[in-house]
Chains A and B, each alone.
Chain A
Amino acid sequence: MLHTILFVDDEKPILSSLAFSFEGLYNVLTAQSGTEALNIVKTHHVSVIVSDQRMPFMTGVELLSQVKQIGPATMRILLTGYADLEAIMNSLNVGSVFRFVNKPWNTERLHATIELACQIYDRMNHLAGVAPPQPLQQIDSPLKEKKSLLFVDTPNNLEALRNLFETEYHVYTANSFEEAIQILQSTEISAMTTEAELNGEECIPFIVALRELKPDLATILLTASKDASLAIRLINEGRIFRYLVKPFTRQILKDTIREAIAQFSNTHSSEIIARNVERKRIFGDVPHIQTMNLKDIIRRANAKLASVTNY
């Protein structure tokens, strides 16, 4: 059976264009507004929704976050011509989008992305059929066992983070990406936060490498800089869980980490399934990675990624 994909844009020519290029391959539906799209999502099994950001009455991010409530399995892609940072970060933090795609889009890449999204959707449904989904752990309920957290940041911040989380979690800290990799290879870590840049080194290669090394690790980026292109790469290539801009409240960080652990400890959660399907597609069925040095891991991960995801 064909997958159902829904395109949402207030520009009719965009919808015609997308519908024409995807019809036959998928069951294509279109909507010209957020409300119309929500009605479709409620009445159809939509595998993938691709929405424009800037639309009157309801923005793409607002739409996607409601879609997430109605059908969490529906893969969400944000398509926009406006590199608007707020929207990008919200798309990750509120809408948990699968991809952020800029207009004008590359037709072949969009096809590949939608195909991948459909595979993930299938996998999630398959697992849901095999075993009933475990209820997600409530964010406010106490955790059954003490989980391990890894913080990658500057020494000053590490001190503050350690003080904040020590009582609830096993806290590990690293002030370089190399050190972080070493800890990740030797210890079972549930969630990690990292700075965007440490000692003049960018986090992107490190985060990309982790997709192969630790696909079920929740990564949260903490940064002081609002950088749209960095955010797009982190969503699309890094598949980070959340992007928090400093300064934020302690409570937000606590909640985000709890949410991350809840999502990632459930092997049937969309986050885990999506990551595993992607990992298999990008890196193939690799045996467990032997201890390697950071540079080798990064080089390998980047080489493989470059062929698959580049918007």
Chain B
Amino acid sequence: MQTTITKTTQLENPALEQRASELFHEQLLRLHKENDRLFAWLLIGQWLFAIALAATISPLAWEGLNNAIHLHVWIALILGGIIILPGVLLGFMASGSVLTRHIIAIAQTLIGALLIHLTGGRIETHFHVFGSLAFLAFYRDWRVLLTATIVVAADHLLRGLFYPESVFGGITNVIARVFEHAAWVVFENVFLVIGIKRSLFEMRQLALDQAQLEQDKEKERLLGEQIKASQAQLVQSEKMASLGQMVAGLAHEMNTPLGYVQNNLQSLKQVYSELTVLAQRFHITQETLLSGKLDTLENILVENASYLSKVNPQRLQRAADIFNDAIEGLNRMRDLILDLKNFSRLEEAEMKPANLNACIDSALKILHHQIKNSVLIVKDYGQLPDFFCFPAKLNQVVLNLVSNAIYACEKRYGNSQKGVITIETRQRGDLAVLKVSDNGTGIAPQHLSKIFDPFFTTKEVGKGTGLGLSITYKIIQEHKGNIRVESKEGEGTTFTIELPIRTESNKTSMFVETEATSV
């Protein structure tokens, strides 16, 4: 059962296992390389130490007879050099490979042997072997210890047999001492191998943890991206919704002038054809008069009278009126299209100077069809200079605030036109202040703190996205302004927006100073 579970987890997350093993081996390789280089330096150091030892201590220690450049100095220099050379070379040039650490192990034990020889087989120098083994254990590879042990044992045995003074300082009990030394080495090796096992286990565990962490981070990142994407989508859908609202408003606003412009032109076409006939009659009359055929003139004049009687001068006067209406209607449509053009640039790259009062007016035009039915708009505009802003975004802000206000008024009064929305603008120092107040239903105190949260809405499902005010908030932030709300349930709501009056262009810099928070 348990194996099945393990298998499943492994199967479930083979990527994790693989990543952990990768990390583990990376770590191990790094360790090996580092160790190889350390040993290379250490070998050089030990070689120099051996030379120094040979030059200073050996002559005295070695029977104290001779103090010239002793043979041992040459041994230390040449034999030591031969011992360390492969280890040092490989340590620097082929660090990390399996062969390198075994060669280093051999070199390290042999240099130990050399030192023992140079001190005349002093038992204290044998401690070097234990130190070497402990250091070699840093490789966390028990095979390296094996190599070192074999070399130590072989060296002790061979020198014990053929040159016991070099290793034991004397010639007594050589075989027994070889075995005793070997036993201590094995004793140490046991602990070192246990240590290696444990440390490898810990490294594996660490690698697994790290792999897990990486995977979690990746998941988090992906999740974050997903959230960002879906948020962006919702913002887009809010934009589409306000676009839809605009299009509906625009369609209504267009239909009215379109209706009468079309109808007027149709009527005028008829008037035009009546006038064309009159022009023809005039032409005929003129020709008759000029040609002097006065006998036909009477008939023509009689005919003219019958045509003239059909033309009603009052109707012609009214035709002029509906002609003007048609032109007026076309102007109205042109203005609407211009307003829509402002709205369509929701993503403006740079701020440009615009007048807040004009922004409000064009938003109100789009909302006209909703306003005229249910609420009274009171405009109380103050003198405001043009300042740098994103006019289309401010249009949207006004659109959002006013359509919320209309909603609140309609909810409270229905169609009875008791709803009043006051739009006030003022300049206060270097701030432009915009207040939108209504006498609608107001906002419940428990909702007040949430209204700027994305997706918060008290409208029915499908009626509002709950993004209108959060987008408003974001737009105000982009302008480095602030927005406040005061509301009393059952009495009404006031939104106050303060925008810095920026008279100089604030071009977008090339580099991001602080990471922008995008909703």
B73 to chain A, nearest CB (A): 107
A303 to chain B, nearest CB (A): 28
A 52-91 binary contact with B (CB < 8 Å = 1; else 0)? 0011110100000000000000000000011000000000
Complex partner residue of B328 from A10, A13, A24, A59, CB under 8 angstroms = A13
Chain B, residues 309-321, CB within 8 Å of chain A (1/0): the string is 0000001001101
With beta carbons under 8 angstroms apart, the residue of A16, A23, A102, A103 that contacts B325 is A16
Note all chain B residues with C-beta closer than 8 A to A21: 263, 266-267
Pairwise interchain contact B315-A23, C-beta atoms closer than 8 A: yes
A13 x B415 contact (CB < 8 A): no
- How far is A269 from B377 in the complex, measured between Cα atoms in Å? 45
Determine which of A17, A54, A104 lies in contact with B322 in the assembled complex, contact meaning CB atoms within 8 Å: A17
Complex contact A16–B417 (CB within 8 A): no
Interface 9-residue window, one of B158-166, B220-228, B252-260: B252-260
Within 8 A of B (CB), among A225-272: none
Q: Which of B259-290 contact A (CB under 8 A)?
A: 259-260, 262-264, 266-267
Whether B372 sits at the interface, judged by CB under 8 Å, is yes
> What's the least CB distance linking B260 to chain A, in Å?
4
Q: Are B264 and A56 in contact (CB under 8 A)?
A: no
Classify the interface of chain B: helix, strand, loop or mixed: helix
Nearest B-chain residue to A19, judged by Cβ: B318
Whether the pair A16, B256 counts as a contact (CB closer than 8 A) is no
B417 partner residues in chain A, CB cutoff 8 A:
56-57
Given contacts A20-B264, A54-B372, A107-B263, contact A13 B329 (CB under 8 A): yes
Asked if A16 contacts B262 (CB within 8 A), the reply is no
The verdict on B458 contacting chain A, using a C-beta distance below 8 Å, is no
**A81-B255 contact given A16-B322, A20-B319, CB 8 Å threshold:** yes
Chain B residues closer than 8 Å to A54, beta-carbon distance = 252, 369, 372-373
Instruction: Kindly state whether residue B42 has any CB partner on chain A within 8 Å.
Output: no
A11, A13, A14, A55 interface centre (most CB from chain B within 10 Å)? A13
Q: Chain A 3-40 against B: per-residue CB contact (8 Å), 1 yes, 0 no?
A: 00000001101101110110110000000000000000
Q: Does A165 contact B (CB under 8 A)?
A: no
B519 is an interface residue with CB less than 8 A from chain A: no
Is the CB of B11 closer than 8 A to any CB of chain A?
A: no
CB-based contact B373/A13 at 8 Å: no
With A13-B325, A54-B373 given, is the CB distance from A81 to B256 under 8 Å? Answer: yes
Q: A104, B267: Cβ atoms under 8 Å?
A: no
1/0 per residue, CB under 8 A from A, across B388-402: the answer is: 000000000000000
What's the minimum C-beta distance from A258 to chain B, rounded to whole angstroms?
A: 29
Q: Which residue of B256, B263, B329, B373 is within 8 Å of A18 (Cβ)?
A: B263
Q: In the complex the two chains form, is B251's CB within 8 Å of A81's CB?
A: yes
Minimum C-beta distance from A109 to chain B (A): 12
Which of A18, A20, A54, A56: most chain B CB closer than 10 A?
A20
* Nearest B residue to A17, CB-CB: B260
Q: Which one, A11, A20, A57, A59, contacts B256 given CB within 8 A?
A: A11
Q: How far is the CA of A59 from the CA of B372 in the complex (A)?
A: 11
Contacts of B321 in A (CB 8 A): 16
Please name the residue on chain A nearest to B325 by beta carbon. A13
A145 to chain B, nearest CB (A): 43
* B152 CB, nearest partner CB in chain A, Å: 93
Partner of A103, one of B256, B267, B318, B328: B256
Once the chains bind, are A13 and B319 in contact (CB under 8 Å)?
Answer: no
> Are A107 and B415 in touch, CB under 8 angstroms?
no
Closest to B254 in A: A81
A20→B318 contact, CB < 8 A? yes
Chain A contacts for B259, CB-based, 8 A: 14, 17, 81, 103-105
A59–B315 CA distance with the chains assembled, in angstroms: 31
Measured in the bound complex, the distance between the Cα atoms of B321 and A81 in whole Å is 23
Give every chain B residue within 8 A of A82 (Cβ-Cβ).
252, 255, 369
Q: Is the CB of A14 within 8 A of B369?
A: no
Contact A104 B251 (CB under 8 A): no
Contact of B264 among A11, A17, A24 (CB under 8 A): A17
Report the bound CA distance from A55 to B319 in whole Å: 26
Give the residues in chain B near A81, CB-CB below 8 Å.
251-252, 254-256, 259
**Inter-chain contacts of A103 with B (CB < 8 A):** 255-256, 258-259
Q: Provide the B412-429 mask, 1 if CB < 8 A to any CB of A, else 0.
A: 000101000000000000
In the bound complex, residues from chain A placing their C-beta under 8 Å from that of B255 are 81-82, 102-104
B-facing mask of A164-204, CB < 8 A → 1, else 0?
Answer: 00000000000000000000000000000000000000000
- Determine the chain A residues whose CB is within 8 A of the CB of B260 once the complex forms: 11, 13-14, 16-18
Q: Which residues of A contact B373 (CB under 8 A)?
A: 54-56, 59
Name which residue of chain B comes closest to A54, CB basis: B373
A20 touches B258 (CB 8 A): no
CB neighbours of B254 from chain A (8 A): 81
Question: A18 to B258, alpha carbons, bound, how many Å?
Answer: 13
Q: A17-B267, A20-B264, A104-B258 are in contact. List 8 more A-B contacts (CB 8 A).
A: A16-B321, A17-B260, A18-B263, A20-B318, A20-B322, A23-B315, A82-B252, A104-B255
Q: Can you name 18 A-B residue pairings with CB atoms under 8 Å?
A: A11-B256, A13-B328, A16-B325, A17-B259, A17-B263, A17-B264, A17-B325, A21-B263, A21-B267, A54-B369, A56-B372, A59-B415, A102-B255, A103-B258, A104-B262, A105-B259, A105-B263, A107-B266
Q: Which residues of A contact B (CB under 8 A)?
A: 10-11, 13-14, 16-18, 20-21, 23-24, 54-57, 59, 81-82, 102-105, 107
The 10 closest A-B CB pairs, nearest first, are A81-B255, A17-B260, A104-B259, A103-B255, A103-B259, A104-B258, A13-B325, A21-B267, A17-B263, A107-B266
